[in-house]
């Protein structure tokens, strides 16, 4: 059974708590996190923990001790301080103690993996999670950098015996014994022969000659897809909650094909060997958060291996890439499910307190909450008359050392932080007018990013003429932020360079600041000269989005084992969300403009609706081969991809039975294209659907016939779509240099609940 972190609402505080913590029986007692400045610890105390206990023991209590404070934890590395259950008066006494820095009321939520299952609408006892028994006995193969088997995310408590059909095994190697596998982690192999032959050394100095993960990436992706529940997970206090994979009852088999060698490259031979082994072992889903540069499918080992996997009924899910530009999408073969990255409704914040605490500014930060910059001198600029530039080598080290620097808006926030670090600044406040973001590891000094609208508050405070002081308080996590999701700035956009006649990416999933398991012996961040370590890490990329989709595929596979990989993809694409949590179209993370299917494919994944799509666009090997013929591949080239050698093209067509439509402009402003599609009913009962087109000016769409009738499960109906594009003076910028429009074709069930939606896109050729 799955250990669900059920949510309990405590009305008194309006916080969401998990049962991972015991709530007080008293109405007056509350749990708090107390952050302390250990440099102020009185000399009689040998340790800061003894100081905390002495502080708690001195607090006033009632005669019957029913309100006696209860110590919970002492924090030494993630932060300096402690947590305790206190009354309001006891809290006030502690806050008046010399050395008190900050108080955080304890709040808990099911954050990603601590939060994305919740954001995706996955509930333990409802919908697709319950119907699939959380992906029970589906095997997800992860081709990545290996696994850290001791992570709590891979514990097998409550899992039944390994299915008899499973052929995989665990290989022993450097610091990895086959006994480390269990009923959750049922396979672990490593592939490095190709890398070794390339002349690069792989040793215990820079990686493990075993399935053990050195880089952390593979552990992160595996736990995102199918990690077991882990209460109390966080990244130095951020995103605190119960970490859980999308399909927590699914099995994992890890194939290490990426090693940290001298060139930091993965050998294609090793990647292909990993795919080959995974197919043999019997995985149901294959997740690859990696990609080779855009190349023809007959030279791309992922495309080749994925074709063979598809023919065995294995759904192959791959990352779209992190280039963030048009025509940069990777892994675009139409038999692969290509995943874009989006944001979630969660972010991390810090507070800038000016002077005597009368002015507070809310800013963004993921600086580890084990350090608060308290009452530091605020440096505004030379003579405090203008804001200081914090670009590389712009600051005077002698002037700003030991101070909090208030920086004007610059081109690169990472460089600004580096400059503050070079000058040994106490902290830095950065103005961001581009809505960009930093990775958690880039916060190597205490840094808070504020909006331009808050600049005047600080300016006014400084002009008051007093000695400017500021405190930076970290560690705040907020949920329910709007708008969400948005397309992540780094997520690669379509069209696909190799075959632009198929819309890519296919789907968008959470990929921004995702909390998942990490290797405990690899530093996640450096503060000054101190390396920080954590069992969980926040990470971003289409690498993080991919295992979310793989986990959802596992849920669907458990419910619909007879569906083909194309049917699974269709179900997810045609039921995806195209609006955010404000009820408006999904936007771009940076530009805040309306995003396009070239950015998010069918939309943001909606697992519960994908379980019951009504109709699917199914596709098989023969259609994919006709597609390769349409790409004018030779018989030999087709044989390389399909293993069908000597194949002679009798039919060539770039018009696949795909759940999307795209018209490439080829340098013109007017063009027409016709499509043929076939829909298959996956419901038991007969049904009738009506076509509804939502298209902007410049995009004319005709559907014939406009009504389809399906007799029962498995019945098929074909239809035709004609798209006429005229973008003269009506073009809308979609992505980069591309001009075009987009709309949607929806098949709406008459008298029923199903809506089967497909994007229609026009886009210019590569500039």
**183: which 2 tokens?**
């009923």
- Alpha carbon distance 679, 258 (integer Å): 40
In this structure, what DSSP letter does residue 26 have? S
Q: Is 369 within 8 Å of 237 (Cβ atoms)?
A: yes
Q: Is 691 within 8 Å of 679 (Cβ atoms)?
A: no
* DSSP-assigned letters across all residues of 670-728: EEEEEEEEEEEE-SSS-EEEEEEEE--TTEEEEEESSEEEE-STT-EEEEEEEEEEE-T
Distances (CA, A) of 560 to 160, 553, 670, 679: 21, 10, 42, 17
Please state the φ and ψ torsions of residue 413, each to the nearest 5 degrees: -65, -35
Strand partners, 742: 761
Task: Tell me how many degrees the CA angle 28-31-35 measures, rounded to the nearest 5.
Answer: 130
Strand partners, 525: 532
Residue 312's contacts (CB-CB under 8 Å, 6 or more residues apart) are 279
Dihedral, CA atoms, 590, 592, 596, 602, nearest 10 degrees? 90
Strand partners, 353: 360, 471
HEC per residue, 430-498? EECCCCCCCCHHHCCCCEEEECHHHHHHHHHHHHCCCCCEEEEEEEEEEECCCCCCEECCCCCCCCCCC
489 is annotated as an active-site residue: no
Catalytic residue among 100, 115, 134, 217, which? 217
Whether cis (ω within 30° of 0) applies to the bond prior to 485 is yes
Distances (CA, A) of 495 to 101, 586, 664, 665: 51, 18, 9, 12
Neighbours of 156 (CB within 10 A): 15
Cite the DSSP H helix spans in 541-661.
Answer: 542-559, 565-574, 597-600, 607-610, 621-630, 635-642
Catalytic residue among 37, 67, 144, 281, which? 144
Residue 463's contacts (CB-CB under 8 Å, 6 or more residues apart) are none
Catalytic residue among 129, 408, 543, 687, which? 543
Q: Is 514 within 8 Å of 342 (Cβ atoms)?
A: no
Helix 301-311 × helix 268-281 angle, to 10°: 10
The residues annotated with a catalytic role in the active site are: 144, 217, 543
């Amino acid at each position: 059974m799955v250990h669900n972190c059920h949510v309990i609402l405590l009305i008194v505080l309006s916080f969401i708590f998990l049962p991972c913590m015991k709530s007080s029986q008293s109405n007056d007692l509350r749990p708090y996190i107390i952050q302390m400045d250990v440099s102020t610890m009185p000399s009689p105390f040998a340790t800061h923990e003894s100081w905390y206990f002495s502080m708690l023991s001195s607090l006033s209590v009632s005669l019957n001790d029913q309100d006696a404070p209860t110590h919970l934890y002492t924090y030494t590395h993630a932060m300096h301080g402690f947590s305790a259950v206190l009354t309001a008066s006891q809290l006030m006494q502690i806050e008046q103690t010399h050395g008190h820095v900050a108080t955080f009321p304890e709040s808990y939520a099911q954050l990603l993996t601590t939060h994305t299952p919740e954001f995706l609408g996955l509930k333990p006892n409802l919908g697709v999670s319950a119907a699939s028994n959380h992906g029970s006995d589906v095997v997800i193969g992860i081709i990545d950098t290996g696994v850290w088997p001791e992570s709590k995310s891979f514990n097998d408590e409550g899992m039944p015996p390994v299915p008899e059909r499973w052929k995989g095994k665990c290989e022993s190697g450097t610091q990895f014994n086959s006994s480390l596998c269990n009923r959750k982690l049922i396979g672990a192999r490593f592939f490095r022969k190709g890398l070794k032959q390339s002349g690069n050394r792989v040793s215990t100095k820079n990686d493990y000659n075993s399935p053990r993960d050195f880089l952390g990436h593979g552990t992160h992706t595996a736990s995102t897809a199918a990690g077991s529940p882990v209460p109390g997970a966080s990244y130095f206090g951020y995103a605190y909650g119960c970490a859980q994979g999308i399909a927590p009852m699914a099995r994992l088999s890890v194939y290490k094909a990426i090693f940290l060698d001298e060139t930091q490259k993965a050998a294609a031979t090793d990647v292909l060997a990993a795919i080959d082994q995974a197919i043999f072992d019997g995985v149901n889903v294959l997740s690859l958060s990696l990609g080779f540069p855009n190349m023809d499918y007959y030279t791309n080992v992922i495309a080749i291996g994925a074709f063979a996997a598809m023919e065995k009924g294995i759904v192959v899910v791959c990352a779209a890439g992190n280039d963030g530009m048009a025509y940069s999408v990777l892994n675009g073969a139409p038999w692969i499910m290509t995943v874009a990255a989006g944001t979630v409704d969660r972010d991390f914040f810090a507070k800038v307190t000016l002077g005597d605490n009368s002015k507070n500014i809310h800013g963004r930060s993921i600086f580890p909450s084990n350090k608060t910059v308290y009452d530091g001198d605020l440096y505004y600029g030379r003579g405090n008359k203008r804001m200081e530039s914090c670009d590389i080598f712009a600051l005077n080290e002698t002037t700003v050392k030991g101070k909090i620097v208030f920086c004007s808006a610059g081109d690169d926030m990472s460089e600004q932080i580096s400059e503050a670090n070079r000058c040994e600044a106490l902290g830095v406040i950065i103005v961001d007018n581009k809505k960009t973001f930093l990775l958690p590891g880039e916060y190597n000094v205490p840094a808070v990013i504020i909006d331009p609208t808050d600049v005047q508050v600080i300016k006014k405070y400084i002009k008051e003429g007093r000695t400017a002081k500021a405190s930076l308080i970290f560690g705040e996590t907020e949920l329910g932020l709007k708008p969400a999701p948005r397309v992540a700035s780094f997520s690669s956009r379509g069209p696909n360079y190799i075959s632009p006649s198929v819309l890519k990416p296919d789907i968008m999933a959470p990929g921004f600041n995702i909390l998942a398991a990490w290797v405990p012996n690899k530093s996640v961040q450096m503060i000054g000269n101190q390396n920080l370590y954590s069992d969980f890490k926040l990470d971003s990329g289409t690498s993080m989005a991919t295992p979310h989709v793989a986990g959802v595929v596992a849920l669907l596979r458990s419910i619909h084992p007879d569906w083909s990989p194309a049917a699974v993809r269709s179900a997810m694409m045609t039921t995806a969300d195209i609006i955010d949590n404000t009820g408006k179209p999904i936007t771009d993370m940076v530009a805040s403009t309306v995003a396009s299917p070239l950015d998010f494919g069918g939309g943001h994944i909606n697992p519960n609706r994908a379980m019951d799509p009504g109709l699917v666009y199914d596709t098989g090997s023969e259609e994919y081969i006709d597609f390769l013929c349409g790409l004018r591949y030779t018989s030999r080239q087709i044989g390389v991809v399909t293993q069908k050698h000597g194949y002679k093209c009798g039919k060539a067509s770039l018009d696949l039975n795909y759940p999307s439509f795209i018209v490439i402009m080829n340098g013109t402003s007017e063009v027409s294209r016709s499509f043929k599609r076939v829909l298959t009913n996956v419901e038991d009962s007969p049904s009738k659907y009506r076509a509804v087109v939502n298209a902007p000016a410049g995009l004319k769409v005709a559907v014939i016939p406009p009504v389809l009738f399906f007799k029962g499960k498995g019945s098929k109906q074909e239809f035709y779509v004609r798209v006429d594009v005229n973008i003269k003076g009506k073009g809308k910028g979609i992505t980069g240099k591309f001009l075009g429009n987009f709309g949607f074709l929806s098949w709406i069930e008459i008298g029923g609940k199903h809506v089967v939606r497909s994007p229609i896109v026009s886009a210019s050729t590569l500039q």
